Chain A
Amino acid sequence: MPTPDHDDQRDDRFEAYLRQFRPLAGEPFPMEKPKGATRLRPVFVACAAAVILCIAVALGFHDRDGGTQSTQAVDVAVRREQMVNTEPMTIRSANALLATAPSFEAAIDEIASTPQATPLPKDKHSALDMLSKEETKL
């Protein structure tokens, strides 16, 4: 009667012998994935939609900025026309122009290019004249 240890060794040897037989591989795996491709399609559609949305949003912001700038430019032009047509440049009107101008430089440019259509009354002084007469201390 063989001992259990002897049986175990015999089983191990037989198992090792069996493992020398390698299972044969089957046919190559068919990598056709028609449904996989279909599943990817919604992803691409979603990406395309996201890109289009981003572009639309960006364009919207751009137009909004441009619209604001153009509105400001129109305001300045109207203000300048009013100044030209109604009253000469004063510190008050210059301040108003500064408040409505898109930038300080733009306001200065507007002030500088504003023609003096009407002569100033004697009791009023031109802001530009006053500024130009001021001695600049460096």
Chain B
Amino acid sequence: MQPNSSATEIESLYCRYGPALLLFAAAITGERGHAQDAVQQVFLKLIEDGNLRQAADKKAYLFACVRNAVLNEIKVQQRNTALDPESAWFSPPDRDYAAELNLRRALCTLPDDQRQVLVLHVWGELTFSQVADLLDISSNTAASRYRYALNNLRESMCAKEDSGANSRS
């Protein structure tokens, strides 16, 4: 029996947006185990319920579903999330795994609201308007948080690179 068109579409969406959704979930939970569970729960529920057809913006809808699933699971545990040092979040350019670790650590130092906006805009490729709808904030707030997140991330990464260089020298 062939999978129905809905399941095929959902599988295709999983392949397309899965990595960014997983990163977004990990940015909230702080580790990939629960993030992976949450993302898969969302997609399995979509197959069961078939609610995806009602969504006008499927990508934004998926990010919203993942966010709700993660928040439902971890409830209050949003701030000061522990970094999972074992699993990488990114495939770094030029196999620069030190840079990947640096980025991951820097991301985890960001306030949760800034980290979410940054991940949604950079890797989720959502517009500020979509981010605003998703997080229930204004577009200006989303853009402002993004600007703060970029600055904070850059400073954090530079500081760690500098400290790493100083410790090596």
Chain A residues close to B by CB (< 8 Å): 11, 14-15, 18-27, 29-31, 33, 35-37, 40
| Best-buried of B43, B47, B147 by chain A (most CB within 10 Å) | B47
CB-based contact B103/A29 at 8 Å: no
Q: A11-B150, A21-B92, A36-B7 are in contact. Are A26 and B36 (CB under 8 A)?
A: yes
CB-based contact B40/A26 at 8 Å: yes
A22 to B91, CA, bound (A): 5
CB-based contact B88/A24 at 8 Å: yes
Residues of A within 8 A of B89 (CB): 23-24
In the complex, 27 of the A-B residue pairs with CB atoms within 8 angstroms, ordered by the A residue number, are A14-B154, A18-B122, A19-B123, A20-B93, A22-B19, A23-B19, A23-B22, A23-B23, A23-B89, A24-B23, A24-B88, A24-B89, A26-B22, A26-B36, A27-B36, A27-B40, A29-B14, A31-B3, A31-B7, A31-B11, A33-B3, A33-B47, A33-B48, A35-B48, A36-B4, A36-B7, A40-B4
Of all chain A residues, the one with the shortest Cβ separation from B87 is: A24
A24 to B26, CA, bound (A): 11
B1 to chain A, nearest CB (A): 7
Q: Is B18 an interface residue (CB 8 A)?
A: yes
Residues of A within 8 A of B92 (CB): 20-21
**Do most interface residues of chain B lie in helix, strand or loop, or is the interface mixed?**
helix
Q: Is B100 an interface residue (CB 8 A)?
A: yes
Of all chain B residues, the one with the shortest Cβ separation from A32 is: B44
Residues of B within 8 A of A30 (CB): 40, 44
A-B complex: 5 closest residue pairs judged by Cβ atoms:
A23-B23, A23-B19, A21-B90, A20-B93, A22-B91
A21 to B93, CA, bound (A): 6
CB-based contact B4/A21 at 8 Å: no
Of all chain B residues, the one with the shortest Cβ separation from A20 is: B93
Residues of B within 8 A of A29 (CB): 11, 14-15, 18, 40, 43
A138 to B1, CA, bound (A): 71
B131 to chain A, nearest CB (A): 14
Q: Is B62 an interface residue (CB 8 A)?
A: no
Interface string of B136-160 (1 = CB under 8 A from A): 0000000000010010011000000
Residues of B within 8 A of A27 (CB): 36, 40
A20 to B99, CA, bound (A): 11
Residues of A within 8 A of B90 (CB): 21-24
